[in-house]
Amino acid sequence: MPVDNDVYERLGGSWWDETSPLNLLHGSVTPGRFAYFRDVLARRLGAGVAGARVLDIGCGGGFLAEEFAALGCRVTGIDPSQASIGAARAHAIYLQRGGTGGSDLNDWLQAERDHLFRRTSELQKLRLT
């Protein structure tokens, strides 16, 4: 059975939505994966993980990238899904602005999508004139 990577483009904006199937990875898979990576970093770098450079290949919505960043690592996330990268960036900005998650996150993301849609519409109107 072939892998359907298009699902990440279709659902990519919903990584941080607690009702999304993609969000199941955050609660069920991310803690174990991150614990493993944190242990490997600690064995190799000792207590000095802050400032370490981390490349998160296939970062999706940024679950692991945010965990590494919280340790003080300098993280670069890459993913073929532009929708997933957008969700990761939006969530990182949300946290930088003091967001805490839950329904507050969903409201904030919807407001950001609405703002982006209005700005895009304005730019398209300017281009047409």
Give the mean model confidence (pLDDT) for residues 81-105. 79
Question: 53-62 pLDDT, tens per residue?
Answer: 999 999 999 9
- Write the secondary structure of the chain as one string of H (helix), E (strand) and C (coil): CCCCCHHHHHHHHHCCCCCCHHHHHHHHCHHHHHHHHHHHHHHHHCCCCCCCEEEEECCCCCHHHHHHHHCCCEEEEECCCHHHHHHHHHHHHHHHCCCCCCHHHHHHHHHHHHHHHHHHHHHHHHHHC
pTM over 0.85: no
Question: 55-92 pLDDT, tens per residue?
Answer: 999 999 999 999 999 999 999 999 999 999 999 998 88
Q: What is the CATH number of domain 6-128?
A: 3.40.50.150
